């Protein structure tokens, strides 16, 4: 429990409240997915199915954020930037419980800085997936398109990173750590 509280405090210092709140709700299984509301109607498979076209799986949190083909495609694009830093692929535990990925052997010395960047990235991807799902389900918006969603991920990541660099009230997370983190990420440990 203490580790969860510490992780939540760190999360709130790194990302805007809307992103940290979504991560909190996901971690505590508080998101209103279709599978959680089977009791509201006569249960039928189509009532519980994912809302995206051609997807007939039951809409659970794991399905929305990881297993759905649209979410999996977005994670695949995101992980292209992380292949030099992370061993393996994204798992449900990494998404849901704030677990860090297994860092590549040459990146362990930069784990603290990479962890900051990973936390920001994960929260943004989760928010992009959830927002696209809700717009599609409730506003007749288009389904999640990884090709366009990745631009939202990058632009929001850039905004969060710039805000962290401007911030001077981050105890223990000084500007130097953020400069090191982005240098490690961009240059792949060449200068660190």
pLDDT band of residue 170 (cuts 50, 70, 90) is low
pLDDT score of 143 more than 80: yes
Mean pLDDT of 144-149: 96
Predicted model pTM = 0.84
Residue 125 within a domain:
yes
Q: What is the mean pLDDT of residues 15-32?
A: 91
Domain count, the chain: 1
Task: Look at residue 92 in the predicted model and tell me its pLDDT.
Answer: 95
* 191 pLDDT more than 50: no
Burial 111-147 (b: 16+ CB within 10 A, else e): eebbbbbbbbbbbbbbbbbbbbbeebeeeeeebbebe
Q: Which domain holds residue 107?
A: 2-187
pLDDT of 109 higher than 70:
yes
Mean pLDDT of 130-142: 96
Residue 43 has pLDDT above 60, yes or no: no
């Amino acid at each position: 429990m203490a580790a969860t509280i510490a992780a939540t405090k760190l999360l709130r210092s790194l990302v805007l409240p809307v992103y940290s709140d979504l991560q909190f709700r996901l971690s505590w299984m508080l998101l209103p997915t279709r599978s959680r509301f089977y009791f509201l109607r006569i249960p039928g498979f189509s009532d519980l199915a994912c809302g995206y076209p051609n997807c007939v799986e039951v809409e659970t949190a794991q399905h929305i954020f990881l297993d759905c083909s649209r979410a999996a495609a977005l994670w695949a694009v995101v992980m292209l930037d992380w292949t030099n830093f992370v061993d393996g692929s994204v798992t449900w535990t990494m998404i849901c419980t704030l677990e860090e990925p297994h860092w590549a052997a040459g990146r362990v010395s930069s784990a603290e800085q990479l962890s900051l960047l990973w936390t920001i990235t994960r929260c943004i991807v989760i928010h992009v997936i959830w927002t696209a799902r809700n717009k599609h389900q409730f506003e007749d918006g288009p389904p999640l398109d990884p090709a366009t969603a990745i631009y939202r991920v990058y632009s929001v990541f850039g905004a969060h990173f710039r805000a962290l660099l401007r911030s001077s009230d981050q105890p223990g997370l000084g500007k130097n750590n953020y400069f090191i983190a982005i240098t490690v990420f961009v240059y792949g440990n060449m200068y660190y």
